[in-house]
C-alpha cells in the first residue's frame, strides 16, 4: 500500500521549487491521496475499510505518511491528523463485530469512505497543549444541539478538512466535539471566525489557522468508556505519525544532500566531514527510533516509547538539518534551497502535541 504514496511523493517532488514556501493547501493533492486509498485506512474492516487494529494498521499508516513527507511535509502533516483523530472512534473495532461500533462512529467512518478529511482544532492559547486546560465552553441547547465558545489557535488542514475534532468544557468535564466545517463561513456569520491565518516559518503550507468560536454549532462525541480505551491508542498513533512526517523529511533531506555532496566528496574540509558524519548518525538514530516505535504501537510500552521517541527524534532532526546546512554551505540558507525549509519543518515535531514542556513533564513523571 505505501508504494502508492511513494508515487504521489515522486510527483510532488517534481513541483518542489513551486511548493517551497507555499502557504496554501492544494485540493488536488488530497484527492490523489484519497484516491490511493489513504482514507480507507482509518475505516474499520467491518465497514469495508482497512483498519484492523493499531498493531497491524498503525505501521501501514506510518509508512504512508513517511512516504508522503518526502514529497511535501505540510501535506504529510495534514494527512497525519486524519487517522489520529478518527482513532477516537476506533475503540471497540478490530476483533469485534460491527455492532460494537457506535452509530456515531459508523456515521463518521462513512464520511471518510465518502472522501472527507478530518482534522483537529483543539489547541488553545495559554493551555500549553494540555487539553485538560481547555477553556472553551460548550452549551447544550434544544434537540441535542451544542454551541461552542472559545479560542483555538492551530487548525491544520483548515479549508481542506470537512470535520474538525475539538475540545470544550461542560461543567467540570472536558468533552470532545465535532465541528462540521463543510460550507461553514469563516467570517463569524456561522459562529466561526478566522482570527489569524497560519504564518509558520515551517510547515507553511498546513493552513493551521487560528479561529474564534462564538456559539459555533458542534456535535458531542459519544461519551463514556470508548474514549478511555481510545485515548492511549490516539496518543500512540498520533505521536508515531508525527514522527513519521519528520522521518520522511529527514530521508529526503539526506538523499538530497548526499547527491549534492557527491561531487564535493574529495574536497570536503575537516569540519564538513565531521558535521556530515554526525548528521548521518543523528539521521540513523532518528530512523531507528521511529521504526522501533512504529512496530511497537499497541503494545503495553507503545505510548511511553512513542513519547520518548518523539522527544528524541525532534532533537536529532533539528541537529541533523543544522549540520547538513553547514556542510552544504551558504546556499542552504537561501529560500530556493529545500534545506532551509526542511530545517524549519522538522522543528514542528517538538511543538506538536504533546509540546516540549508538557512532554517533558510527562517524561519526568514517568521516571518515578
Ligand X SMILES: Cc1cc2nc3c(=O)[nH]c(=O)nc-3n(C[C@H](O)[C@H](O)[C@H](O)COP(=O)(O)OP(=O)(O)OC[C@H]3O[C@@H](n4cnc5c(N)ncnc54)[C@H](O)[C@@H]3O)c2cc1C
Q: Contact between 81 and ligand X (CB under 6 A)?
A: yes
Q: Contact between 160 and ligand X (CB under 6 A)?
A: no
In terms of Cβ atoms closer than 10 Å to its own Cβ (0-12, 13-18, 19+), residue 334 is exposed
> Which residue, 93 or 158, is less far from ligand X as judged by CB?
158
Rounded-to-integer distance, Cα 341 and Cα 245, Å: 14
Query: What secondary structure letter does DSSP report for 41?
Result: G
Bond from prior residue into 354 cis (ω within 30 degrees of 0): yes
Rounded-to-integer distance, Cα 271 and Cα 170, Å: 58
Tell me which of 33, 41, 320, 352 binds ligand X, using CB under 6 A.
352
Find cell 513517511 and name the residue: 66
Chain centroid to CA 112: how far?
A: 17
CB of 245 vs ligand X, minimal distance in Å:
10
Stretch that binds ligand X, among 54-62, 117-125, 213-221, 224-232 (CB under 6 A): 117-125
Using CA atoms, how far residue 149 sits from 43, 47, 168, 188, 315, in Å, is 31, 34, 8, 12, 36
Q: Contact between 351 and ligand X (CB under 6 A)?
A: yes
Q: Contact between 94 and ligand X (CB under 6 A)?
A: no
Q: Contact between 125 and ligand X (CB under 6 A)?
A: yes
Q: Contact between 348 and ligand X (CB under 6 A)?
A: yes
Rounded-to-integer distance, Cα 282 and Cα 287, Å: 9
The residue among 95, 116, 93 whose CA lies nearest residue 40 is: 116
Query: What secondary structure letter does DSSP report for 97?
Result: -
Stretch that binds ligand X, among 28-36, 40-48, 199-207, 335-343 (CB under 6 A): 199-207
Q: Contact between 132 and ligand X (CB under 6 A)?
A: no
> Which residue, 122 or 328, is less far from ligand X as judged by CB?
122
Tell me which of 156, 160, 233, 236 binds ligand X, using CB under 6 A.
156
CB of 166 vs ligand X, minimal distance in Å:
8
Rounded-to-integer distance, Cα 86 and Cα 108, Å: 8
Q: Contact between 89 and ligand X (CB under 6 A)?
A: no
Q: Contact between 200 and ligand X (CB under 6 A)?
A: yes
Tell me which of 42, 84, 127, 175 binds ligand X, using CB under 6 A.
127
Chain positions contacting ligand X, by CB under 6 A: 81, 119-123, 125-129, 154-156, 200, 203, 206, 208, 348, 351-353, 355
Amino acid at each position: 500500500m505505501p508504494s502508492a504514496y511513494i508515487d504521489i511523493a515522486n510527483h510532488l517532488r517534481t513541483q518542489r521549487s513551486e511548493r517551497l514556501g507555499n502557504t496554501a493547501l492544494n485540493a488536488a493533492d488530497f484527492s490523489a491521496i484519497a484516491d490511493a486509498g489513504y482514507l480507507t485506512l482509518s475505516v474499520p474492516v467491518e465497514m469495508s475499510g482497512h483498519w484492523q487494529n493499531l498493531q497491524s494498521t498503525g505501521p501501514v499508516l506510518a509508512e504512508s505518511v513517511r512516504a508522503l513527507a518526502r514529497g511535501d511535509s505540510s501535506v504529510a502533516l495534514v494527512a497525519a491528523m486524519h487517522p489520529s483523530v478518527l482513532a477516537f472512534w476506533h475503540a471497540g473495532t478490530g476483533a469485534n463485530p460491527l455492532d460494537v461500533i457506535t452509530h456515531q462512529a459508523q456515521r463518521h467512518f462513512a464520511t471518510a469512505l465518502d472522501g472527507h478529511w478530518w482534522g483537529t482544532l483543539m489547541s488553545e492559547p495559554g493551555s500549553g497543549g494540555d487539553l485538560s486546560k481547555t477553556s472553551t465552553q460548550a452549551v447544550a441547547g434544544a434537540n441535542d444541539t451544542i454551541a461552542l465558545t472559545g479560542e483555538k489557535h492551530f487548525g491544520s488542514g483548515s479549508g481542506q478538512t470537512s470535520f474538525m475534532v475539538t475540545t470544550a468544557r461542560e461543567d467540570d468535564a472536558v468533552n470532545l466535539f465535532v465541528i462540521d466545517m463543510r460550507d461553514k463561513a469563516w467570517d463569524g456569520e456561522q459562529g466561526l471566525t478566522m482570527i489569524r491565518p497560519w504564518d509558520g516559518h515551517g510547515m507553511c503550507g498546513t493552513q493551521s489557522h487560528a479561529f474564534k468560536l462564538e456559539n459555533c454549532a458542534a456535535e458531542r462525541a459519544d461519551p463514556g468508556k470508548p474514549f478511555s480505551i481510545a485515548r492511549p491508542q490516539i496518543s500512540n498513533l498520533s505521536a508515531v505519525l508525527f514522527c513519521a512526517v519528520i522521518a520522511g523529511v529527514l530521508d529526503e533531506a539526506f538523499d538530497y544532500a548526499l547527491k549534492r555532496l557527491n561531487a564535493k566528496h574529495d574536497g570536503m574540509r575537516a569540519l564538513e566531514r565531521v558535521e556530515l558524519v554526525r548528521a548521518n548518525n543523528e539521521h540513523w538514530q532518528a530512523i531507528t527510533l521511529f521504526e522501533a516505535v512504529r512496530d511497537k504501537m499497541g503494545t503495553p510500552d507503545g505510548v511511553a516509547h512513542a513519547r520518548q521517541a518523539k522527544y528524541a527524534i525532534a532533537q536529532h532532526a533539528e541537529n541533523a538539518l543544522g549540520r547538513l546546512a553547514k556542510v552544504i554551505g551558504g546556499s542552504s540558507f537561501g529560500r530556493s534551497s529545500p534545506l532551509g525549509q526542511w530545517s524549519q519543518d522538522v522543528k514542528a515535531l517538538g511543538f506538536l502535541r504533546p509540546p516540549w514542556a508538557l512532554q517533558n513533564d510527562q517524561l519526568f513523571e514517568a521516571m518515578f
